[in-house]
Structure 1
């Protein structure tokens, strides 16, 4: 399995043009090598500008975006055309990974998935990703996919631990990429997280990220725009939680999801 950097910069809601460019540049020059965006975020142009002005070679940066049913559609030709638009906005010749953002709208595995294989064959994308799928939908997609499925991206944090999807990713030797890994800031108020933060003298954010990264095949893409938060998140890769810390978070008896949309698989 090719390597996906442990931590990436999430850019959802980073829509102020100057802030977006600066945060991407700052993250890359700080050491990040994975940048995640999406057509739906409305910031691909600014993300591309941040990559361009950073003092980091393009071939050292793993760049991912997502095609969306409500932007260009997910029929075969719509995926191809949507990728071309995203590349133009990003100012790139290829993507390291393209995701299906949500399996909704006109998503049809027999139509949508072969377009991804075509893009791989054309060297326009290196890897195929899916986002917000169920295990059943992942199996359907894998049946249609000639390329290897590289990653599945989902909301994942101590309050939504995604055991079934993690087991699926590990069984198929693919990455599970955790978005909203800080539960939109709600991990800061979880007593177990607070206690472990105080125990190690680290931030609650670092506790949550380190817990996720303690799991095989998991990668994280926390959103941040300020230099301080970008730096704090990045140094979660230096944190080693002990077995008791990990088990205490594993045993949190509370489940909350913070990202919902009509048609999501878990609502079916």
Structure 2
């Protein structure tokens, strides 16, 4: 598995997302994914499946060092004391002595960003997380975290798929040597039904969903964390690693609408802020 080096860690470019796999339902899916070869596992306190993820990792019998485990703190726990308690609870549920990446799941209005990131950096300095990152920050927030606060941001995780551009963010991150992890890479299932992606896939015996993942993996500095409960879908996503796009593929996907954002909670930041 190809990895992306950042802040002293190596992030596998294709990971396994566990959003909307609550409770014990997540364990067999994670066990299946591990058996197929996934080692980058993405969870969050809000997903309510950290215990199941940890149990699947433990049951695998594979050395802890082989895994890259990400979890996240929810936006109502960003004050330093609350964040420390939330992290301890996540670690306890996972049954691990450290995670590889700890992330702010969503920014909160009025948050003290410097205090939050300082608290996360302290966890890193103690060896409890190997790296820290942020999810769902817009460009001004990301710029402030990196340039003004000077936090050692190892990764930004945002919605990214063939129907939504992240060009300005990618340009900024690449200039700073920070990777982007794409969540909802199949646009919450919409990519699987897209006729353009399906037509491109037919040329090479691939599905529309595989073409969407391959398009993301075709971009430098981008990691992808599709969710898939069924082993067949998990394997299909892994098989996308072997697809090499050509200029015809890239041109056709570039022509798709790029303004389709599907994750819009009421607490989201202003995405178009420059």
Q: Secondary structure at the match of 1:95?
A: coil
Query: Is the Cα–Cα contact under 8 Å of residues 117 and 151 in structure 2 kept in the other structure?
Result: no
Indicate the residue corresponding to 2:47 in structure 1. Answer: 41
Whether 1:252 aligns to 2:256 is yes
Match among 100, 112, 117 for residue 113 of structure 1: 117
In the TM superposition, residue 247 of structure 1 has moved relative to its aligned partner by: 2.1
- For residues 178-217 of structure 1, the C-alpha deviation after alignment (integer angstroms, 9 at most, x for no partner) is 0000001101222220111111111111100000000010
Indicate the residue corresponding to 1:12 in structure 2. Answer: 19
Query: Is the Cα–Cα contact under 8 Å of residues 28 and 56 in structure 1 kept in the other structure?
Result: no
- The range that moved more, 58-67 or 163-172, is 163-172
Structure 1 residues not aligned, in runs of 5+: none
Aligned length: 265
Alpha-carbon distance between aligned partners in 2 of 1:49 and 1:263, rounded to the nearest angstrom: 32
Indicate the residue corresponding to 1:54 in structure 2. Answer: 60
Match among 133, 143, 150 for residue 129 of structure 1: 133
**What is the TM-score of this pair, normalised by structure 1?**
0.94
In the TM superposition, residue 252 of structure 1 has moved relative to its aligned partner by: 1.2
Whether 1:179 aligns to 2:183 is yes
Indicate the residue corresponding to 2:203 in structure 1. Answer: 199
Q: CA RMSD in A?
A: 1.5
Query: Structure 1's 99 and 214: CA in aligned 2 closer, same or farther, altered over 3 A?
Result: same
**What is the TM-score of this pair, normalised by structure 2?**
0.92
Indicate the residue corresponding to 1:26 in structure 2. Answer: 32
Query: Is the Cα–Cα contact under 8 Å of residues 29 and 55 in structure 1 kept in the other structure?
Result: no
Query: Is the Cα–Cα contact under 8 Å of residues 100 and 130 in structure 2 kept in the other structure?
Result: yes
Whether 1:96 aligns to 2:100 is yes
Indicate the residue corresponding to 1:223 in structure 2. Answer: 227
Alpha-carbon distance between aligned partners in 2 of 1:88 and 1:107, rounded to the nearest angstrom: 26
Structure 2 residues not aligned, in runs of 5+: 1-5
